[in-house]
Amino acid sequence: MIKRYYLIFILMFLPGILLSHEMRPAYLHIKQVNETTYNVFWKIPRRGDMVIRLSPVFPQSESLTEIVMPKLMEGAMLYSYSLTTSNPLEGQDLIIDGLQKTMIDVLVNVDYLNGEKVSFMLKPDDPEKIIPGKMSTFLVIKNYTVLGVEHIWFGIDHLLFVLALIIITKGFKKIVKTITAFTIAHSITLSMAVLGFANLPGPPVEAVIALSIVFLAIEIVKNASGQETITSKKPWLVAFTFGLLHGFGFAGALAEVGLPQTDIPLALAFFNVGVELGQIAFVLVVLLVIRALSYKKNWPLIIKKIPAYAIGSIAAFWTIERIAGFWF
């Protein structure tokens, strides 16, 4: 059974999971006010009181001055500047100072006075780019697909949920059905939230997502002891139900990054594609590891429960941390 072979995998990666936390991309929004002036909104991800030391640099510009005090937001710090330049911003260099020392990306959106909008990405190994004047469809597809893949890979809570589903689900066909149900569900609520048809506040959603992982961990322990549970009998139903909630979590991350206003459906579609590609890749890796460890047949009961205890402990810590964040 899958749960019998997962132990070594979870023990190999448990230290990384315990120390990891989702780090969302930084976001730079540049809005042209007149021929020589731009408003610049710079959002940097943070965890607790720690704010990453990053700053946008426009080498050919005359001044970049702060216009309001920095604003503390959930999971981020927002800075607002006024940028003055005697030459058009199009074609100028943009540098994110300090980016090469981090592991995060920066999504840049530029709104020109003539209505043209462009988006592009800066990465730690590519912290400098020339600001384009026009946005290609290919660039929108590429940027938001990459964002989707990165979000699922760095979203440790979402990955733990998927791992728990795999552990408790028996048989390849049933796993495919279960992961498909999870995909459909979070795609529905992600789209509805981004398009403004439904919304839930971020902190409670993140807390309940962590609680959903605790629930699955308990189900795994019961199942390992020989008890049939609703998850072991109908994992697709549990995956779909909680998947609706996880979709709001994905939407919160996408809202923080932003969407190009002229290409919202396209960007949303390929962000979702990126999430699914990242999720499929993760599931395949897990199944390959399980297959490689399939030589081991009979695990003791206590050993079979260790993955559930590990996953449940991490998720319980997140639940407490996120609920405490309501007040602190």
3-state helix, strand, coil in the chain (%, to 5): 55, 20, 25
> What pLDDT, in 10s, does the model give residues 100-123?
988 888 988 888 887 777 878 888
Task: Summarize the confidence of residues 239-243 as an average pLDDT.
Answer: 93
Q: Are 26 and 54 in contact (CB under 8 A)?
A: yes
- pLDDT tens digit sequence for 291-311: 776 666 666 667 667 788 888
Q: Give this prediction's pTM.
A: 0.70
Q: What is the DSSP string of 241-280?
A: HHHHHHHHHHHHHHHHH---GGGHHHHHHHHHHHHHHHHH
Checking if the pLDDT of 287 tops 90, the result is no
What is the structure's pLDDT at 189?
A: 92
Kindly list the domain boundaries of the chain, sorted by start residue.
2-22+155-324, 26-135
Q: What does the alpha-carbon distance between residue 89 and residue 113 come to, in Å, rounded to a whole number?
A: 11
Among 302, 277, 294, CA closest to 9: 294
Average pLDDT of the residues of the chain? 82
pLDDT of residue 253: 73
Residue 215: predicted pLDDT: 94
Task: Write the single-letter amino acid at 99.
Answer: L
Report pLDDT digits (tens) over 249-281.
888 777 766 666 667 788 888 988 998 899 999
Residue 148: both structure tokens together: 């989707």
Note whether 121 and 78 are within 8 A (CB): no
Instruction: Single out the residue of 235, 225, 296 nearest to residue 7, CA to CA.
Output: 296
**Residues 64-92, mean pLDDT to the nearest whole number:** 86
Residues 77-87 have a mean pLDDT of 90
Whether residue 18 is predicted with pLDDT greater than 50 in this model: the reply is: no
